[in-house]
Amino acid sequence: MGNGENVVCPGCQSINNVPGEKLGDAPKCGNCGEPILDAKPVELDEGGFERHKTKETLPFLVDFYAPWCGHCRQMSPNFDKAAETMAPDIRFAKVSTEAAQALAGKLGIKSIPTLVLFKGGKELARNSGVMDPDAIVKWVKGNL
């Protein structure tokens, strides 16, 4: 493997190797042509989560939420803002614990919103509760 990053396409799930200096140039998927990294969190189902977690080499930060959860709605714009600040060096993703109940159970997600930070397929840290954008950025940097 060269010195690039493996980036999973959120659309077609292809793995793209992107040279480090190109990460910020809005890289597109070699297979389907969709943008593979932008400054917005991607919504993932269980399959997409597993693929990003195991195949992508960027740090991978997931907001576990549920559509009915008020604190999650409060958290959502903060998460978006932190994504803008940290793109493209971190993959921001959202997983609905309603849609991916088995996954949430397997990971032991007990309250929402919960942020979990992964790198190289391993969990580095998790934190539950609403955080403001600065706190998210600081927390991620402090755990990498």
Under the binding rule (CB under 5 A), the answer on residue 17 touching Zn ion is no
Quick one: 79 or 92, whose CB is closer to Zn ion?
92
Contact predicate 27/18, CB 8 Å: yes
Calpha distance 7→29 (Å, rounded): 9
> Is 42 an interacting residue with respect to Zn ion (CB under 5 A)?
no
Q: Which stretch binds Zn ion (CB under 5 A): 1-9, 73-81, 93-101, 124-132?
A: 1-9
**DSSP conformational letter for 27:** -
Distance CA 12, CA 19 (A): 20
Choice from 7, 8, 23, 29 touching Zn ion (CB under 5 A): 29
Residues in touch with Zn ion (CB under 5 A):
9, 11-12, 14, 29, 31-32
